[in-house]
A and B are shown apart, each in its own frame.
Chain A
C-alpha cells in the first residue's frame, strides 16, 4: 500500500492491455500566471521599477561626463585611481540601469507564455537534393571539365602556385638576415670588462664582498648595433663565495678568488635567473624554478632545465677590474636543434 494511485499518474494497465515500452511525454506544463498578470497594481509597480532603472542609467551617464570633466588622473597613483573609480562607477550605473531595466521589463511585463515551434530535419528533402545534384551535374557538363584532364590539371596547378608570389617574399623577409648562428655569439671576449647592469660601471674584484651577487653586462654593450638584442644574450650573474665552498667550475681557473660568473639566461626557456640564495649558493629561475648550484659548476639541482648555466671565465686586469678571460665556450640560453653544430 505504499503507492497511492492518484488518477493523474496512474498507468492504464489494469484492463490487461499491453504496456508501452516507454513512458509517454505528458506534454507542456500548464502556464503559471505571475502576480502582475492578474493584479494591475503589481503591474504598475513593475513598470515604475523599470522606469527608475532607466533613470539611474541616465544619471550614471551624466555622472560619467561630470567625472571626466572634474577629476583628471593627476600625477599620483592615488589621484589616478580616484579618476578611474569615479568614471568607472558612473559608466557602470549608466550600463547596469539599461541592462536591468530591459531584463526586468521582459520578465515582469512581457507576455510569458511559452510556445512550441516545430523543428525540421537539418538535411534538405529528397526532391531538393535530387535537384541540387542535378544542378551541379549540369554545371559540370556545361563547363566540360570532366572531359578535359589537362585543363583541369593546369587550373589546379596555377591556383596552387599563385600564393607563392605573396608567401615567398613575406616569409623570406620575416626573419631579417636569417643568420640564426648569431644566437651562439655574445659580446664577451678576452679582456672585456664586467660592468654593473644598468649603470655600466666597471667592477673591482676587491669591491665584491663574499655572499654578494652582481647583475653584470659587458662594458661595450651600448656601442653594439642592437644593444637590447646583445643584452638579451650577454647578461651575467656574478657571485662571490668563500673559495673553500667552491666545489667545481666548468673550466680550471675560470673563477677569481671565489668570484664566479654565469650566464643569466636560463638554459630552460630563457628567463633571467635572477634569484641568488647565498647560504646554499643556489641560483633560482623565478619563471619555472630551475635551480642551479653556483658552487658546483651551476649544475641543475631541481626543475625543468637540463644543462648547467654556461660559466664565463673571468680574471682581473692590471687595474684590478674584473674582465672576461674569454667568451662563453657554449651557446647561452635554451637548447635548440643545432646548438652543438
Chain B
C-alpha cells in the first residue's frame, strides 16, 4: 500500500493539532502507554467472531433506543381511561403504562420506530448471544485459559433473559400480563416459600400495583448496569488472553495472526456497528413487532389464543406445555411436579451443565495447557455430538412452546403433537448425539483419506501391463497442515489402584471416575495422519522402498491405543481405497 511506504509529509495543520491534543492528553493521563500497547494489537479475522460483536452492538442499540423510550413511558399501574387517536381503545380502562405505550406508538413521532427497534434489538441480542455461545462451544474456545470468561458470558446470557422478560412485561398488555401470571404460577409452585416469593415479587396479591414500577427499575437500571459491567470484564479478558484463532498454517498456540486494531478493526468493527444498527432499523421500519394496540390492556379475565412469548422464553413455555399433570400431596402440603420439573428442574439442569462444561471437559482431558488455536468441531466428536444433542433438546422445547401454532398451521391434533414432543424429548437427543458423532468420525476419516491419497484428479493412466489407475494429486503443505495439525486426544492413563506392595492408593476412586469420563469422551476416535503413515501410503502406491513402514506403523498404533478401540483405517484398506 502506498500509505505505508510514503515519506513523511510536511506536517499539515490537522496533524499539528492532533499532535498537540495527544501531547495534552498524554501529559495528564499517560495515555501513550495504552496507545502504544493497543493501537496495533493483532486480532484474527473470521466471520464467526462477528457473532459476539453483534451481541455487543445490539446491546448498544438497546441502550440508545431504551433511553428514548424512558422519556415517554410511564411505569405506573394506576388505572386511567384512554382518550387518544387510537379509536378502538377509546374510553377503555387501562394502566398508565399501557396508555403511555399507546401514546409512544401513535403520538410520539418516531416512538413506534424506537419501540420496534428496541424489541427487534432485544431478540437479536439474545439470538447473537446464543449463537456466539455455540461458536465458542463447538470450537473449544472455552478451554484454558478462558474458562472464567465462559462463565462471564454464561452470566451475560442469563442476564439477557432477565432483561428480555422484564422489558417484555412493561407495556402491561394482555400478552405480557398473562406471561407474568405464568411467572406467578411458577413462583408459587416452589415448595414452602412459593407464596411468599410471589407476594414479594408483586408486592402482595397478583397483579397488585407495584410490579410495573419494580420491573422498570430492574429493567432500566439493575440489569443493564450488571450487563455493562460484565461486558467490560468479558472484553478485558479477551484483550488479556488475546483472541483465539482458527487452525491453519502459521497459526499456533504461541502466536496470533491477523490484522492490527488500528486502523483495520477500527474501520471493520466500527463499520459493523453501523451495519448491525442499520439492519435492526430496517427490520423495525418494515416488520411490525408486538402491536400492543391490537392486544389491549391486561385484564386477568382475558387471554388470546395462539399467544407466544419471545423466542428465548419458548423453551420454558414448551416445558410447561409438555409436562404431564403430576402433582402430589405430602401430609397437607402440595408439591406440583407439573410445574417444578419444567419450570425449575429442567432449566436448572440445562444451565448447570452449560456453565460447568469447560470444567467437565478439562477433567476428561486431564489437559492443563493453554489453548489458543480452535478445534475444528469434527476433531472433538464427543463435544460436538453433546452440543448438538443439547441443542436438540432445547429445540424440541422451543417447538413445543409453539405446539398450538403448529397445530393450527398444519391442521394437526394438538394432543398428538404434544405426545410426539414428549417422546422426542427423550428419544431425539441421544439419536442426535449418535448421528453427530458418526458424522464427525467420518469427516475425520475423510481428512485422513485426503491427506494419505490426495485429491482425485479424474486423470486415468494405463500402464504397459494393462493396469489402470487414477492419478491422485497430493495435498499442498497448507491443505495438509489443516488436516493434521490437531493433537490426537486419548483417554487419560491413571496409576493402578495398588502400589507395588499391594497398598491401596489414596485418590484412586476419583482417578478411576476421571478415567471413565475420559474414556466416554475419547475412546472412539480417529487420529490425524502421521508422517510415517503418509510415507507408508506413498511407498505403497509407488511400489517403492520402505517395505517395513506399514508393520512399524501398526505396532505403534496398538501400543498407543492401549486396549481402546482404534478407528484409524488399517494400511491394507488404504491400498484398496487408493486403487479403485
A residues engaging B (CB < 8 A)? Answer: 1-6, 8-9, 11, 13-14, 19-23, 25-29, 37, 68, 72-75, 77, 80-81, 83-85, 87-89, 91-93, 95-96, 98-103, 105-107, 109-112, 114-119, 121-122, 171, 174-178, 180, 182-183, 197-198, 215, 217, 226, 228-229, 231-233, 235, 264, 268-272, 274-275, 286-290, 300, 302-307, 333-341
Mark the stretch among B297-305, B387-395, B493-501 that contacts chain A: B297-305
Q: B333: which of A2, A27, A341 is its contact (CB, 8 Å)?
A: A341
Task: Tell me which residues across on chain B come within 8 A of A269, comparing CB atoms.
Answer: 181-182, 184-186, 189, 320, 339
B478 with A116: CB separation less than 8 A = no
A68 with B110: CB separation less than 8 A = yes
9 of the cross-chain contacts (CB-CB < 8 Å) are: A3-B538, A28-B249, A29-B250, A110-B263, A115-B257, A117-B242, A268-B338, A269-B339, A288-B321
Q: Say how far B81's CB is from chain A's closest CB, in angstroms.
A: 13
A106 with B267: CB separation less than 8 A = yes
Q: On chain B, which size bracket covers the interface?
A: 35 or more
CA distance A226 to B321 in the complex (A): 31
B267 with A4: CB separation less than 8 A = no
A102 with B270: CB separation less than 8 A = yes
Asked if B260 is an interface residue, CB under 8 A from chain A, the answer is: yes
Interface flags for B212-243 (1: CB within 8 Å of A; 0: not) read: 00000000000000000000000000001110
Q: Say how far A256's CB is from chain B's closest CB, in angstroms.
A: 22
Of residues 102 to 133 in B, which have CB atoms within 8 Å of A's CB atoms?
105-113, 116
Task: Tell me which residues across on chain A come within 8 A of B86, comparing CB atoms.
Answer: 75
A304 with B241: CB separation less than 8 A = no
Known interface pairs A37-B1, A306-B325; 7 further A-B residue pairs with C-beta atoms within 8 A, sorted by A's residue number = A13-B546, A23-B481, A92-B282, A174-B203, A270-B182, A306-B336, A334-B189
Task: Tell me which residues across on chain B come within 8 A of A117, comparing CB atoms.
Answer: 41-42, 242, 255-257
Interface flags for B303-325 (1: CB within 8 Å of A; 0: not) read: 11111000000000100111111
A340 with B333: CB separation less than 8 A = yes
A305 with B184: CB separation less than 8 A = no
A92 with B106: CB separation less than 8 A = no
Of residues 450 to 481 in B, which have CB atoms within 8 Å of A's CB atoms?
453-454, 461, 463, 469-478, 480-481
A29 with B471: CB separation less than 8 A = no
In the A-B complex, the 6 residue pairs with the closest CB atoms:
A88-B285, A102-B271, A269-B185, A99-B274, A28-B250, A176-B204
A338 with B485: CB separation less than 8 A = no
Asked if B188 is an interface residue, CB under 8 A from chain A, the answer is: yes
Task: Tell me which residues across on chain A come within 8 A of B288, comparing CB atoms.
Answer: 81
Q: Say how far A214's CB is from chain B's closest CB, in angstroms.
A: 11
CA distance A111 to B40 in the complex (A): 13
Mark the stretch among B8-16, B153-161, B529-537 that contacts chain A: B529-537
B307 with A287: CB separation less than 8 A = yes
Interface flags for B91-111 (1: CB within 8 Å of A; 0: not) read: 000000000000001111111
Given A25-B249, A275-B305, A300-B325, are A6 and B484 neighbors across the interface (CB < 8 Å)? no
Task: Tell me which residues across on chain A come within 8 A of B254, comparing CB atoms.
Answer: 118-119
Q: A176: which of B203, B301, B370 is its contact (CB, 8 Å)?
A: B203
Task: Tell me which residues across on chain B come within 8 A of A270, comparing CB atoms.
Answer: 181-182, 184-185, 206
Task: Tell me which residues across on chain A come within 8 A of B473, comparing CB atoms.
Answer: 4
Task: Tell me which residues across on chain A come within 8 A of B472, comparing CB atoms.
Answer: 2-3
Q: Which residue of A lies closest to B467 (CB)?
A: A1
B residues engaging A (CB < 8 A)? Answer: 1, 3-4, 41-42, 79, 85-87, 105-113, 116, 145, 178, 181-182, 184-186, 188-196, 198-201, 203-210, 240-242, 248-250, 252-260, 263-264, 267-268, 270-279, 281-282, 284-286, 288, 293, 299-307, 317, 320-327, 329, 332-336, 338-339, 342, 370, 372, 403-404, 414-415, 418, 453-454, 461, 463, 469-478, 480-481, 484-485, 529-532, 534-535, 537-538, 541-542, 545-546, 578-579
Q: Say how far A50's CB is from chain B's closest CB, in angstroms.
A: 10
Q: B200: which of A174, A229, A334 is its contact (CB, 8 Å)?
A: A174
A180 with B195: CB separation less than 8 A = yes
CA distance A119 to B472 in the complex (A): 39
Given A171-B200, A304-B324, are A182 and B205 neighbors across the interface (CB < 8 Å)? yes
Q: B109: which of A19, A21, A83, A198 is its contact (CB, 8 Å)?
A: A83
A289 with B281: CB separation less than 8 A = no
CA distance A269 to B323 in the complex (A): 12
Task: Tell me which residues across on chain A come within 8 A of B478, comparing CB atoms.
Answer: 26, 29
Task: Tell me which residues across on chain A come within 8 A of B201, comparing CB atoms.
Answer: 174
Given A25-B252, A92-B278, are A121 and B370 neighbors across the interface (CB < 8 Å)? yes
Given A73-B107, A99-B272, A333-B185, are A119 and B256 neighbors across the interface (CB < 8 Å)? yes
A22 with B271: CB separation less than 8 A = no
CA distance A117 to B268 in the complex (A): 20
Q: Which residue of B lies closest to A230 (CB)?
A: B205
Q: Which residue of B lies closest to A235 (CB)?
A: B301
Central interface residue in A77, A335, A340, by most chain B CB within 10 Å:
A335
Q: A80: which of B105, B339, B541 is its contact (CB, 8 Å)?
A: B105
Task: Tell me which residues across on chain B come within 8 A of A96, comparing CB atoms.
Answer: 274-275, 278-279, 282
